[in-house]
Structure 1
């Protein structure tokens, strides 16, 4: 991952990361007290809560990119507690501002083995984004990072190898006209594939057959473009109707 996109590592003044075992005990106590579901997830919007519960209680037992996609799609400010090894990283997502707050540099977070990343809990954000009137609720300036590069890395390198639910099914895909292609951290065969998608639409099957691509790379690329708000999905296109992959 391009190290220039993120500043390195735990900034001074940030709290120590909680141990995963201690945080799990805290979650267990919440569930016991509320009869099986955390009182904090109940504070989320009904649509986001329903989306997260598809993946498991409190949004847990799921891939990080799935939960991130849901939070971005609903445009909510949430904190995702991610287990990495023996510690828990609170990742606060400001979807509308396209920012995240994280006590660990995102390139360090996604640089760890993806199998080690586990969503433990999702709750409404307590922190506020930069520029809010109440400065006491705004996290340390050096702990804010752009959201887009993190979403790209999670889509391209995370555990999910299938299309996100919102873009799956027979469809023709194309890059949205307003997407800044040159700003994407694409490498290798991905760059010409993106440029070609900007000129013409393609089904998943067709995209997988392009030079340097296969089904998994095509799937990850479409997920990544969707998370950049840079993907047009057409389900009425004749090629989508004829597509027999699914």
Structure 2
């Protein structure tokens, strides 16, 4: 009797791996917002009125941002998206006009319905967040959006956004130095190259950097950008202990 092999059956849909499609830039993302229960949403209790459909640790990460008085500081949202490798859809507004921005960290890219790099520095500083959703909950089609590299967007927000303080993850008695070649993607802003050059050597503290560059605001902004681009090594800066003159240990 001749044996005829049976072709393998396709895997059950429930066992298929969940992967981000390679064509996410041109994927129509269906909205799940209307079907979510009220408990799946959280809103800032202040007057900002920012609404989100995030859940779990991602929600906790972004919740720190929602507690700020003015929702113009977008760096913590970008940090959460990059740290969790989750696509986020941010509904922004500038000059009473809506701007929709989608981060795609797994693809090292982003998509925006306006020419993001056509915005002035003042407009970038005044962008306000109205709502944030996970990428799978975005209620709009991102086909035709302008595309770009997420590194360029991070540097733009870090240097020209409203945040002038260090992100909490890199604040404190720390020393910093760079890893890799961050100058390849850094924006050509006066003073940035000198800071990167100083950070390429031995670890240096924030106060030392500020004394050498005389621009504390720019130093903090560059450190934020380097952190979000995984180009920063942070070590704890220990103050040498004062020894008694009669101590046996020198």
Q: Considering the TM-score relative to the shorter chain, is it more than 0.5?
A: yes
Structure 1 residues 192 and 111: CA distance shift in structure 2, 3 A: closer
Deviation at 1:114, TM superposition (A): 4.1
Counterparts of 1:109 and 1:144, CA distance in 2:
14
Tell me the equivalent position of 2:246. Answer: none
Change (3 A) 1:223 1:241: same
Equivalent residue, structure 2, for 1:216:
217
Return the alpha-carbon distance in structure 2 between the equivalents of residues 205 and 81 of structure 1.
37
Task: Give ranges in structure 1 of 5+ residues lacking alignment.
Answer: 1-26, 129-136
SS of structure 2 residue aligned to 1:159: coil
**Superposition pairs for residues 146-185 of structure 1, below 5 Å?**
146-176=149-179, 178-185=180-187
Question: Cα RMSD over matched residues?
Answer: 3.1
Gap change, CA 1:52 and 1:208, over 3 Å in 2: same
Residue 79 in structure 1 maps to residue 89 in structure 2 = yes
CA distance in 2, matches of 1:151, 1:139: 22
Q: CA deviation at 1:205?
A: 0.4
* Residue 38 of structure 2 corresponds to residue 37 of structure 1: no
Helix, strand or coil at the partner of 1:194: helix
Larger proportion of helix:
1
1:184 partner SS: coil
Task: Give TM-score, length-normalised by structure 2.
Answer: 0.69
Cα distance in 1 for partners of 2:182, 2:125 equals 31
Q: How many residues align?
A: 197
Conserved? CA contact 1:172–1:201, under 8 Å = yes
Match of 1:66 in 2: 76
Deviates more, 1:61-70 or 1:147-156: 61-70
State how far apart, in whole Å, the 1-side matches of 2:132 and 2:113 are. 17
* Contact 1:127–1:139 (Cα < 8 Å) also in 2: no
Residue in 2 that maps onto 1:19: none
* Structure 2 unaligned spans of 5+: 1-32, 44-50, 241-250
Residue pair 2:167, 2:224 contacting (<8 A) in 1 also: yes
Q: Give me the whole-angstrom Cα distance separating, in 1, the residues matched to 2:189 and 2:121.
A: 17
Residue of structure 1 equivalent to 2:239: 242
Quick one: distance in 1 between partners of 2:178 and 2:211? 17
Equivalence for 1:113: 123
